[in-house]
Structure 1
Amino acid sequence: MGKFLTGCIAIETRNARLNGSSKDVEGGGNALQNISYTKKIRNRNGAFPYASGVYVKKNIKKYVVANGHNISNVNSIDTTQAVTEGNPYKNYDEDVMGFMIASKLILTEEEFAQLPDIEQSTFKRVTKAKKTLYEKNITKKRKGRLMVTPIQAIAKTTVKDEFNVRETNKTNLLYTKEIYSTIMSMGFNLDILNVGVFSVSEDESGFRDYSPEEAENLDLNTNDEGIIFLDKVEKRRRITDTLKAIQHFNTGIAQANNLEDLNAKFVIMAEYSIGNNIFNNIFRNGVLDIEYLVEAIEENESYRLSKIYMGVRSGFMKIDGKDMKEVLQERFKDNQYIIIGTVGEAFDGYIEYLD
C-alpha cells in the first residue's frame, strides 16, 4: 500500500508576474522589442496566467537550500545536455525530485583486462575507429517523489500592460511589462514512504539510485534486499521542509517593483493510499466548488489514511457572500476527520500526525 500526501494550495496576487515568457511564444513579433511578457494559457474563455512546474520546484529548492539542505551540482556535457551528481542519499533535490543520468562507461582493452571475470561479463565489445573498446550502460534514474502542477489562475484574468521609463544620459527609453491580479492554485503529491529510500541494482534498464560499486565506494549501508535507508531524522527534515517551502512559497522574480505575499492563503491536504490527486480541480469559475470537493472526498474515502487538514486565511475568498472558512466549517461540521483552521495550523497539524 502506498502513502501519498495529496494536496492543493491557493495563493493571491495583487500586482504580479510570476513567470516570464518570450515574444516568440507570445506572438509579439518584431515590433514590440521592449516588453516583458508573462506566461499564460489562452482558450475561448480568456487568458489564464501560470507559472510552470519547473519554476515551482526551483523555488522549493531555493527555500530548502536556505535551510541547510544539499543540492546536487549540475554539470554541462555540451550545449544540449546536463547531468546531476546522481547521489540522492546526499542531495535533497535528487531524492525528492528525481533524476536521470543516461551515460556509458567505455574502457580500452588494457583497462578491460584488469577487471575480474564477473565484471567483464557486464561489458560488450565494440569497434570504433578500428579500435577495440568495451562498453557498458551505466544509466541511472529515480522517480520524483514530489509531483507538482503549474501554479495557474483559477479564473480568466485580464493581463495588463504597465508602461515604464528607463532614464538614460540621452533619450529616455520606454518599456512595458505584463502584470495581473488574480487567485492561483497548485496541486502537489508527495510519496511519503519512498522519500529517503534508495535502490541498489545492476539493472541499468529500470529505476535505480546506485550501482553496487557506487554504494560500496560511498560506504552506504545496503540491506539484503538492495535497499538503502536515509536516517529517519533527515528523512523527516526533507519532508517537512518540502511542506514549509510549499506553505511559504516565494520568488525573486520582479519582486523589486512588484513585491507580493505569495504565502499559501488556502491549503487542503491528506494522506491517501493512491497517488491520484483528488484535490486538483476543486477551484472552478474563480471560487472553491464545495460540492465538487465533497464528492471527491466521499468517493475516495476508502483510500484515506490520515485526517484531512484544511487551512484558510481569514477573508481570503467569499462564497455566496460568506467567508470561505465559515462555509467550510458549516459544511463539514459533522465530519470529525476534517480539521479546519488557519493555513499554519493545517501544515503543523499534518506534520504532528507525521511524527
Structure 2
Amino acid sequence: MDTWIGLMSGTSMDGIDAILVSFPDNHIQIHATHSISYPDDIRNRLVSLSQNKGSPDEIGELDHRVGGLFATAANQLLEKSSFSADQIQAIGSHGQTIRHQPDGGTPFTLQIGDAALITELTGITTVADFRRRDMAAGGQGAPLVPAFHRAYFSAEGEDRCILNLGGIANLTQLPADRSRAVTGFDTGPANALMDAWCKEQTGLPFDTDGTWASEGDIDQDLLSDLLSEAYFQRPAPKSTGTEKFNLEWIQTSLRRHPEVEAVDVQRTLLELTALTVAKQLPQQPGMTIYVCGGGARNPMLMKALQRTCSPATITSTSAIGLDPQWVEPTAFAWLASRTMNHKTGNLPDVTGARGKRIIGAIYYA
C-alpha cells in the first residue's frame, strides 16, 4: 500500500498541518495527523514579508527556517505513526505562500519552505512548488485543490459545493451531472481580515468561536464600502491572497469611516466573508455546501453563511468523510501522488490554464 505525507500551511500563516494518508481503491485512509504552530517571531516575519516588507536575505532565511519547520512536522508525524521514512512514497508540501500575483504581464507566485531541505532532513522524496507549472501555462496557479475535490467528493444525485475557509475563501462547484465542468475560484477573504484585525486590536491571533464578533453590530456603510472592492465583481478564473486582503486594506476603508467601533469592525468583517461567498456562489436548487478549513470551527461564521447562502444547506466536510482541518493537507498528499505517477493535477476549467499539466517539482531522496 502506497503511503503519502501532505504538508499544508495556508494564508492564515498560523502553523503547519501534516497528514499521513493512503488512497486505496479511490478511498482515503488516514494513518496519522499532526499540527505544529509557527513560533510568534516566525509568524510575524512571514506576515511582514507577505506585505513586501523584507529583503532578499529575509526571504532566504525564512525559506530555510520554514523548510526546517515543515521537516519537523513530517518527522513528528512519523513518530506518532507506525510508519518509517522508507515506507513513504513522497511528501507533498504546499509551502508557505508569501506572494501571489497571477495577473498582469509578469504573473508570479512565491511559496517558501525549502523543499530540498525537507528531503534532506526527512530522507523522503518531496514534491513542492505546485502552483508555478499551472501559471506558466497561463493559469492562475490556484486554487489547485478542486481536482482533489472532484476525485473524492463528487456525488451523483447531489449538487455539491466545497467551501474552504482558510485565510482566503475558495469554493469548488461539483455538479451532480458529471458531464458538466467542475468550477472553482477564490471568493476573497475568509479568516485573513478577521484575524488581522483581531490581532491588531486585542493582541490575540484570532477571534475564538467568533466570540468578539458576536458582541458587535454590522456597520452597513462600512460593509458597502468593503463590498465595492473590484475583485468581488471579477469573473472567474481568479485567485487572490493576503497581499491584497490585509490590515492595510481594512484601514484604507476605515479612514473613510473613522467612527466605527473596533468590535463593530470585527462583526462587519465576518459579514463581509459570508456575503462575498454568498454573492459569488453558483446557486443550484438543493445544493449542499460542505465547509472545510479553520472557518468551519467558527460557529458565528457558519451561522452567517447559513443565512446568506440560503436555501443551500451548510455543513462540514465531516459529513462526507473528512474532517475540515485535514482536507487541504490530504489534497497535497494526493497531488504528490499524481506528480510521482506522471498524472496531471490541475483543472484548466478552474485555473484558466491552456491545458492539463503535471504540476510540482520533485526533490528525490
In the superposition, the TM-score normalised over structure 2's length comes to 0.23
In the superposition, the TM-score normalised over structure 1's length comes to 0.24
More helix by share: 2
More strand by share: 1
